[in-house]
């Protein structure tokens, strides 16, 4: 009965049509071809399989989809229904299987479907995927419809309505022709900004293609820069949907007119017409040439629009512009000091241009690529997971070069500075070298190696055309329940301070002279200040429990714990600083919790004035939206607090307009604007972007290379912390028959963690690399692997159970937000079964300590593997004794969650394993007891006085090994507290005092 009304309407409509027309339609139109009936024939699945899948700019933005039974379904029994609440962008796709041939839609007029209208006036974008090797490598063509009706309505979208997407193309274009002969599916982009619901049914191809409506004209680019006196060549191409030859002739009349250049003085005017006769092959091009003239005067850039009038086809989406490059001005002279170039350029800028330089947008949120020039944007970024398709170094470079090309159409041609979160290698790019996360680097206690990992990251990032990295995170993680614990080098500011060598790995020398190298990037010290100290339960962001919460400390605690690493980073010349989302509550200042993005006392007062930071401050993602007040207040407060560039991923137009209005109203002093823009321009000049704005891909062949992976392998090996090794269970022997189990033994996504390819990361084969299991097979070819330990255990000498966490990032990983510190039930069962059957080693792959509890007694060897990245060979190197275990705990390993937060220096300190703990292999433990420790203490004090750092560290390490050997499984509070204190003293160069603390721990053991 549910279709009765629809059928009645259709019958009535048919009765009103002339009989001849109805018969012609039946005779001429092919039968509709179903694409989606939503009856369950197409599963919810992602590429490379065929299926429906959702996507969005963050974890909250993908819609919720379901196949729902409805009595009013226009077709069949079910419809696709969904709800959404999108802040950035989000939608869903139906993509065809990559392993199957693409589909041919060229015989049809268009695509249509039923849509249940909410009459909300919102625009819904509909996109089709044309050509290429698969759905991820196709061209995107788009159109839209408006939800301005109520109830079911059939939406018909002729293929002639679809336009080539100029704001984003996964591959930068294949042939700019809507061929329709190799189709990979469709996507629906839902409206952002308010909650909504939708229902959809019966997607199908309809009608017969009309050859007379299928022609279109494109140009090779929208912007054609040329040196003064040079000739621009503009390529004009004719194409057809379906790629058939032209059915009718097409003419393109062209004329130079308008723009900022003067005809006759700056260029020779041109006009004329090119013809594409009927029968011309689709994809045929003609070249139009626009000569420019030299007038021997220094000038800013000048534009020459080339207006095209197309007959017989659709015209290009944009009018191409020839641009005579700026020339002869002081700021363009690379021989001049940076300070003078900045002053000259700043003096030429309008307020609107200055505001544009302070604006950073997300590349996927650009309404149109022309907005880069229209709003004088200073920066773009890729948020976590915001990548071109295919996700290759070449596609990244092409994409960023296409954005950079748009800046050439601006008057001053100030290049963009593009930024990414490359927090453990170039982690956005599939195939890049993925390093251990910072917590693992902290475990290495090796500042030299940390610097080398950062140098590899910088080289791979810059080779894709990106000059700016939102790293390192210099937070001091004080509560392991925090979802960002693994982004910290550790819980002790002295350790974080020591690992700040990564700034030099990224940037080179502290004076910035290396920034223009093709293997260096601008670094970002984040998140200033105190984001590692937020109290559990203090977050007000969604379901987060600790991230973006409140750090409540005395001024002395702030200085000693949280500010210390930033002082070092500033001394090392870090180019940018990013404030924290969190709030700072300084005890005694009477202000209560204040968002860091509003704290002028910290940004201007401490960072810029007291520390002498001369780079620029970049906000975090939409962070000013968290400030109290309206949007104008958010802009005013943050800029006056000392923010120089604002990350407004989706609100770039509103931000720029509001900033200009606030300055003109006198609520922001233009001197504050000038200071901000001067800081931004300084770094752009240092990076060499004015001379070389486009990607230097000479180093792209080294991305994921053997040499780079060797560095990651070394870091993975040094990051492994041996917590227990009863009976010398490790290293494994070649003759042993090994049984491997656990959820993280064979999962590259799990061992890489969050911020890997996508923001949250994911399990599975997300990027090329070597899992722990694959690396172990190189040493034990006949080992047995059973993830859940269901395979028989009999006959094996030793078991290795690799357990731990699945990926997460930021507050999504907070304990209490769907996470805890317990092993999963499956992992616990695997540990219990294997360790009951044989000698066993348990490896914990995680971003923070996991609670082992009463299982510790049954485990012979326990390893904190952290998140080692793509190079599982590094883990195998220490398991099989190719390298010794040398890692030390960068955070305290608790006995229970009730102990948290627990940190070195606490008055009450009784952990499972103390900060700094880490057994070794392949090295004999030094002999001796209290007398030996006393002698070591005397020698360590002498080394300290002499400034003999290497000797002092070696003496303390010797004492530490003696204590660990004696304490073994008897780690009491009396042992743990002085032991942990000793490592903190070691990091601050107090070698004699460190040995004294270790002696105290020895006596307690």
* Active site amino acids: 620, 810
Cis peptide leading into residue 901 (ω within 30°): yes
Q: Report the C-alpha gap between 41 and 445 in whole angstroms.
A: 55
Q: Report the C-alpha gap between 127 and 186 in whole angstroms.
A: 5
Q: Which DSSP letter does residue 925 get?
A: P
Taking residue 591's Cβ as centre, other Cβ atoms within 10 Å add up to 11
Q: Which DSSP letter does residue 912 get?
A: S
Q: Report the C-alpha gap between 654 and 69 in whole angstroms.
A: 42
Q: Which two tokens stand for residue 464?
A: 């894709």
What is the signed CA dihedral for 680, 684, 686, 690, rounded to 10 degrees?
-150
Q: Report the C-alpha gap between 453 and 711 in whole angstroms.
A: 6
For the chain, the C-alpha Rg in angstroms (whole number) is: 31
Q: Which DSSP letter does residue 44 get?
A: B
Q: Report the C-alpha gap between 146 and 140 in whole angstroms.
A: 20
Q: Are 458 and 392 in contact (CB under 8 A)?
A: no
Rounded to 5 degrees, what angle do the CA atoms 745, 747, 748 make? Answer: 120
Q: How far from chain centre, in Å, is Cα 496?
A: 23
Q: Report the C-alpha gap between 774 and 81 in whole angstroms.
A: 42
Q: Report the C-alpha gap between 750 and 756 in whole angstroms.
A: 10
Q: Closest Cα partner for 920 from 727, 713, 730, 775?
A: 730
Q: Closest Cα partner for 140 from 154, 148, 129, 131?
A: 129
SS3 of 635, please?
A: helix
Taking residue 458's Cβ as centre, other Cβ atoms within 10 Å add up to 30
Q: How far from chain centre, in Å, is Cα 384?
A: 2
Greatest CA separation for the chain:
111
Q: Closest Cα partner for 473 from 416, 530, 520?
A: 530
Residue keyed to tokens 């499984």: 969
Q: Are 517 and 504 in contact (CB under 8 A)?
A: no
* Beta-carbon contacts of residue 649 (< 8 Å; ≥ 6 apart): 57, 88, 360, 361, 362, 365, 381, 383, 621, 622
SS3 of 144, please?
A: strand
**Run of H or E residues at 148:** none
Using CB atoms within 10 Å of the CB of residue 666, give its burial: 0 to 12 exposed, 13 to 18 middle, 19+ buried: exposed
| Neighbouring-strand partners of residue 188 | 92, 126
Q: How far from chain centre, in Å, is Cα 277?
A: 48
Q: Closest Cα partner for 532 from 557, 507, 504?
A: 557
Q: Which two tokens stand for residue 1001?
A: 């721990």
Q: Are 918 and 886 in contact (CB under 8 A)?
A: yes
First to last CA, the chain: 82
Output the CA–CA distances (angstroms, integers) from residue 696 to 8, 790, 821, in the order listed. Answer: 65, 52, 44
Q: How far from chain centre, in Å, is Cα 557?
A: 32
């Amino acid at each position: 009965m549910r279709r009765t009304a629809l059928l009645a309407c259709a019958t009535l409509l048919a009765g009103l049509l002339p009989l001849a027309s109805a018969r012609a339609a039946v005779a001429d139109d092919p039968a509709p071809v179903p694409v989606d009936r939503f009856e369950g024939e197409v599963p919810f699945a992602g590429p490379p399989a065929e299926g429906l899948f959702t996507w969005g700019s963050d974890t909250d933005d993908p819609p919720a989809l379901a196949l729902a039974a409805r009595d009013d379904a226009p077709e069949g029994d079910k419809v696709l229904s969904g709800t959404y609440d999108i802040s950035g962008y989000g939608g869903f796709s139906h993509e065809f299987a990559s392993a199957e041939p693409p589909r041919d839609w060229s015989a049809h007029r268009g695509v249509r479907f039923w849509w249940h209208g909410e009459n909300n006036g919102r625009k819904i974008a509909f996109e089709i995927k044309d050509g290429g090797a698969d759905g991820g490598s196709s061209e995107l063509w788009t159109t839209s419809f408006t939800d301005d009706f109520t109830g079911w309505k059939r939406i018909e979208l002729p293929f002639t309505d679809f336009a080539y997407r100029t704001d984003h193309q996964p591959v930068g274009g294949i042939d700019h022709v809507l061929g329709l002969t190799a189709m990979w599916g469709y996507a629906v982009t839902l409206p952002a900004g308010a909650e909504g619901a939708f229902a959809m049914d019966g997607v199908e191809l309809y009608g017969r293609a009309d050859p007379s409506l299928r022609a279109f004209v494109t140009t090779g680019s929208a912007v054609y820069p040329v040196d003064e006196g040079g000739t621009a060549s503009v390529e004009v191409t004719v194409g057809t949907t379906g790629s058939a030859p032209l059915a009718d002739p097409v003419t393109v009349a062209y004329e130079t007119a308008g723009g900022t250049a003067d005809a006759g003085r700056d260029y020779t005017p041109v006009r004329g017409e090119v013809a594409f006769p009927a029968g011309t092959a689709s994809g045929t091009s003609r070249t139009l040439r626009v000569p420019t003239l030299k007038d021997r005067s220094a000038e800013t850039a000048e534009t020459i629009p080339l207006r095209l009038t197309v007959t017989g086809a659709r015209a290009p989406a944009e009018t191409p512009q020839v641009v005579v490059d700026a020339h002869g001005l002081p700021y363009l002279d690379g021989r001049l000091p940076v300070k003078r170039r900045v002053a000259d350029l700043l003096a030429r800028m309008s307020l609107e241009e200055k505001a544009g330089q302070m604006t950073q947008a997300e590349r996927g949120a650009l309404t149109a690529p022309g907005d880069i020039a229209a709003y004088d944007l200073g920066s773009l970024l890729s948020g976590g997971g915001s990548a071109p398709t295919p996700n290759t170094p070449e596609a990244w470079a092409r994409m960023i070069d296409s954005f950079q090309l748009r800046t050439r159409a601006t008057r001053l041609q100030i290049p963009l500075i593009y930024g990414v979160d490359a927090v453990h290698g170039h982690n956005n790019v599939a195939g890049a070298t993925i390093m251990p996360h910072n917590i693992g680097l902290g475990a290495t206690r090796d500042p030299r190696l940390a610097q080398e990992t950062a140098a590899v990251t910088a080289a791979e990032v810059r080779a894709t055309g990106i000059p700016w990295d939102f790293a390192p995170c210099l937070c001091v993680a004080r509560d392991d329940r925090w979802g960002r614990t693994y982004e910290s080098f550790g819980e002790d500011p002295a350790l974080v301070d020591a690992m700040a060598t990564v700034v030099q790995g990224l940037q080179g020398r502290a004076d910035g002279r290396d920034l223009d190298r093709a293997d260096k990037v601008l670094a970002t010290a984040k998140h200033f200040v105190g984001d590692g100290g937020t109290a559990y339960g203090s977050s007000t962001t969604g379901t987060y429990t600790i991230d973006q919460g409140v750090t409540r400390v005395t001024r002395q605690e702030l200085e000693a714990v949280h500010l210390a690493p930033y002082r070092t980073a500033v001394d090392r010349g870090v180019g940018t600083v990013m404030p924290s989302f969190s709030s700072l509550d300084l005890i005694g200042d009477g202000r209560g919790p204040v968002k860091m993005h509003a704290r002028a006392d910290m940004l201007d007062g401490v960072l810029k004035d007291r520390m002498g930071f001369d780079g620029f401050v970049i906000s975090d993602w939409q962070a000013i939206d968290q400030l109290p007040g309206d949007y104008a207040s958010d802009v005013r407060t943050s800029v006056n607090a000392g923010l120089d560039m604002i990350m407004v991923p989706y609100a770039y137009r509103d931000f720029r307009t509001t900033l200009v209005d606030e300055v003109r109203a006198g609520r922001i002093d233009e001197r504050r604007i000038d200071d901000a823009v001067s800081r931004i321009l300084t770094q752009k000049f240092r990076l060499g972007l004015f001379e070389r704005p486009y990607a230097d891909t000479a180093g792209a062949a080294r991305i994921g290379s053997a040499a780079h992976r060797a560095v990651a392998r070394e870091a993975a090996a040094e990051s492994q912390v041996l917590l227990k090794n009863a009976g010398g269970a490790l290293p494994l022997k070649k003759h042993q028959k090994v049984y491997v189990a656990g959820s993280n033994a064979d999962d590259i996504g799990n061992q890489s963690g969050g911020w890997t390819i996508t923001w949250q990361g994911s399990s599975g084969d997300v990027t090329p690399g070597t899992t722990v299991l694959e690396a172990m097979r190189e040493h034990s070819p006949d080992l047995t692997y059973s993830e859940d330990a269901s395979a028989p255990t009999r006959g094996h000498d030793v078991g290795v159970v690799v357990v731990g966490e699945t990926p997460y990032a930021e507050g999504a990983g907070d304990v209490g937000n769907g996470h805890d510190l317990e092993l999963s039930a499956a992992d616990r069962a695997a540990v219990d079964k294997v360790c009951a059957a044989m000698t066993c080693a348990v490896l914990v792959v995680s971003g923070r300590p996991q609670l082992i509890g009463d299982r510790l007694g049954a485990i012979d060897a326990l390893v904190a593997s952290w998140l080692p990245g793509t190079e599982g060979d590094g883990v195998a190197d220490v398991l099989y004794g190719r390298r010794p275990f040398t890692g030390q705990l960068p955070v305290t390993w608790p006995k229970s969650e009730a102990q948290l937060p627990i940190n070195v220096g606490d008055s009450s300190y009784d952990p499972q394993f103390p900060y700094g703990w880490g057994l070794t292999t392949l090295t004999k433990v030094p002999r001796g007891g209290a007398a030996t420790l006393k002698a070591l203490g005397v020698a360590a004090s002498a080394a300290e006085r002499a400034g003999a750092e290497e000797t002092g560290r070696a003496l303390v390490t010797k004492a530490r090994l003696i204590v660990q050997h004696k304490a073994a499984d008897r780690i009491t509070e009396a042992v743990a507290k002085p032991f942990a204190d000793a490592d903190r003293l070691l990091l601050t160069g107090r070698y004699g005092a460190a040995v004294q603390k270790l002696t105290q721990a020895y006596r307690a053991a």
